[in-house]
Structure 1
Amino acid sequence: MYSAIQLGKKYLRYYFTAANGKGHGIHSPFVFDLVVKVLNDKTKYAAYKEVEQQRSLLLGNEAIITVEDFGAGSTKGLTKQRVVQQIAATSLKPKKYAQLLYRLVNYFQPEIILELGTSLGITTAYLAKAKPTATVTTMEGSAAIAEIAKQQFHELQLNNINMVTGNFDETLEMVIDKTEQPFNFVFIDGNHRKEPTLRYFEQLLAKTDRDTVFVFDDIHWSKEMEEAWEHIKQHAAVTLTIDLFFIGIVFLRKEQKEKEHFVIRF
């Protein structure tokens, strides 16, 4: 991964070169509407307060758990003792981006949602709250972390979430096979390495349709993730991408004849 200084320099370059976040100069009607109605939506949805209350509780949770780590920088089967509040402080998606996920789901109204990387369940809760009638499948490598996420779902009275626990390399194929309808919305935040990210993307493409939206987390987190993002942008199935620096949004819109890639300040 890049150092804080490297990432800071990259962010500054992004900030001063990205398209205006108000939508000015964006000639795609589809992207312009997305910027105006989703990125710039300042509505204080009731779900925001409810989910952020759970985040606050997690940030104060001093319980110690044993965590299995299958992500970047780890080896299969590695375990270590972690304090819940430390996981919450370092692993949870910041409010700004977690609430953007809520607005994306609220805007596109997907029926079948998949999340790779539950963590403590905050982003999952936002996804599920945005479309209570949707089926949300969320996947987490660590059983101990998954149990805490389930507690959040219970507290928030969320009944539309299916939790799958285990290494994605072993569980993703099963999830794809068991899901009869195409995934309409996919959030990938589970393994910040190039090869697994691209492999998961390829696997999931078999269970998508023209309206499927992919969101990739931390696309500039490391050289590997930047390479993965560039590969995804050039993939034959991809027609439109939006780079918001900390996340990337991918569309498979078949009606779009030429590829377009946007970098937008957010």
Structure 2
Amino acid sequence: MVLHSIKSYLKFLWNSKNQHGVHSPFVYNLVTKCFYDKTNYEEYSILKSYRKTLLANKETIEVTDFGAGSRVFKSNTRPINQIAKNAGISPKRAKLLFRIVNYFQPNSILEIGTSLGLATSALALGIDTKTNKEKQNNNAKITTLEGCPNTALIAKTQCQLQKFNNIEFVNTEFSSYLSTQHPTPNTQDLIYFDGNHSRKATLEYFELLLPTSSNNSVWIFDDIHWSKDMEEAWEIIKNHPKVTVTIDTFQWGFVFFRNEQKKEHFVIRT
């Protein structure tokens, strides 16, 4: 698994470009105004505080894991601070997720895989930004799904302490929710897939959620190079007829359904 990751990253570096290799105005603006935005947003301090609280929590919880398992933990009894340190979104990625939401200002967000809410807090801050009042989107709604009741409870508690009032927490098995509890799909402007890092589950969620996509939808898949299986899933998603533009940043795969653009794939360093 480690050898696979090294090979995949070397291949990524060989193929990747920065903004100078991008000829699509849509992708160029996204890269220069969002990916490479060096602004020190005041919301970053809230993200840091949220993380710091979790890193200071040495209590252990029993984790219910429906996904592809953990490369770090050998037991499902895990310290909260170690989950935050090893399994949560990194500080760099949390800032980028905030900027993405702040840039696109989606009205509806679906997160598949809440965990301790580190990414959830970035999503919430992005649509309720204090930095730019013109971009504040008080009507936006986040629905976040988590299979483990213990991590979901911690995330909900922490987000409530931060007064994030636009989040609906749903403790559920993902495919069950997407196929039966959510049978009439609403349009989802942004979906962050960070739940089950397996080929089968990723493609299942992709197909189940396709009816929610629109011309302006932004889908973000985490850990697209996690394994050979995940890379296969990413290739299938890239080649789907409804998908027009994709961006591989190694950690994340971005998917867009913009009918006005020709089908094109970008590999971008962030």
TM-score (norm 2): 0.91
Deviation >4 Å, runs of 4+: none
Q: Which residue in 2 is equivalent to 1:264? A: 268
Q: How many residues align?
A: 256
> Is 2:218 the partner of 1:213?
yes
Identify which range, 49-58 or 138-147, moves more after superposition. Answer: 49-58
Q: Which residue in 2 is equivalent to 1:94? A: 90
> Is 2:147 the partner of 1:141?
yes
Q: Deviations over 1:23-58 (max 9, x none)?
A: 112111111111110011011111111121111121
Cα separation, 1, equivalents of 2:26 and 2:174? 33
Q: 1:49 to 1:178 in 2, by over 3 A?
A: farther
Identify which range, 56-65 or 118-127, moves more after superposition. Answer: 56-65
> Is 2:197 the partner of 1:192?
yes
How big is the shift at 1:64?
Answer: 1.1
**Is the CA contact (8 Å cut-off) linking 1:176 and 1:207 kept in structure 2?**
no
Q: 1:252 to 1:150 in 2, by over 3 A?
A: same
Q: Deviations over 1:90-138 (max 9, x none)?
A: 1111111121111111111100000000010010011011113210000
Cα separation, 2, equivalents of 1:107 and 1:175? 31
> Is 2:33 the partner of 1:37?
yes
Cα separation, 2, equivalents of 1:45 and 1:71? 33
Q: Deviations over 1:192-241 (max 9, x none)?
A: 00011011011111112111110000000100000000000000110000
**Is the CA contact (8 Å cut-off) linking 1:124 and 1:138 kept in structure 2?**
yes
Amino acid at match of 1:10: S
* Equivalent in 3, 8, 11 of residue 10 of structure 1: 8
Amino acid at match of 2:168: N
Question: Unaligned regions of 5+ residues in structure 1, if any?
Answer: none
Q: Which residue in 2 is equivalent to 1:157? A: 163
* Equivalent in 235, 242, 245 of residue 237 of structure 1: 242
Cα separation, 2, equivalents of 1:178 and 1:154? 29
Amino acid at match of 1:250: V
Q: Which residue in 1 is equivalent to 2:131? A: none
SS of match in other structure, 1:70: coil
SS of match in other structure, 2:225: coil
Q: 1:174 to 1:106 in 2, by over 3 A?
A: farther
> Is 2:61 the partner of 1:57?
no
Cα separation, 2, equivalents of 1:211 and 1:174? 25
Map 1:69-108 to 2 at 5 A. Answer: 69-73=65-69, 80-108=76-104
**Is the CA contact (8 Å cut-off) linking 1:51 and 1:156 kept in structure 2?**
no
Q: 1:140 to 1:65 in 2, by over 3 A?
A: same
Q: Which residue in 2 is equivalent to 1:176? A: 182
Q: Which residue in 1 is equivalent to 2:256? A: 251
TM-score (norm 1): 0.92
Q: Deviations over 1:152-185 (max 9, x none)?
A: 1012110000001021122223553365x40000
How big is the shift at 1:73?
Answer: 3.7
* Equivalent in 193, 203, 207 of residue 202 of structure 1: 207
Q: Which residue in 2 is equivalent to 1:225? A: 230
Cα separation, 2, equivalents of 1:215 and 1:175? 22
Question: Unaligned regions of 5+ residues in structure 2, if any?
Answer: 129-137
Q: 1:175 to 1:213 in 2, by over 3 A?
A: farther
Q: Which residue in 1 is equivalent to 2:117? A: 121
**Is the CA contact (8 Å cut-off) linking 2:175 and 2:204 kept in structure 1?**
no
How big is the shift at 1:16?
Answer: 3.5
Cα separation, 2, equivalents of 1:175 and 1:24? 45
Cα separation, 2, equivalents of 1:98 and 1:51? 8
Identify which range, 90-99 or 226-235, moves more after superposition. Answer: 90-99
SS of match in other structure, 1:206: helix
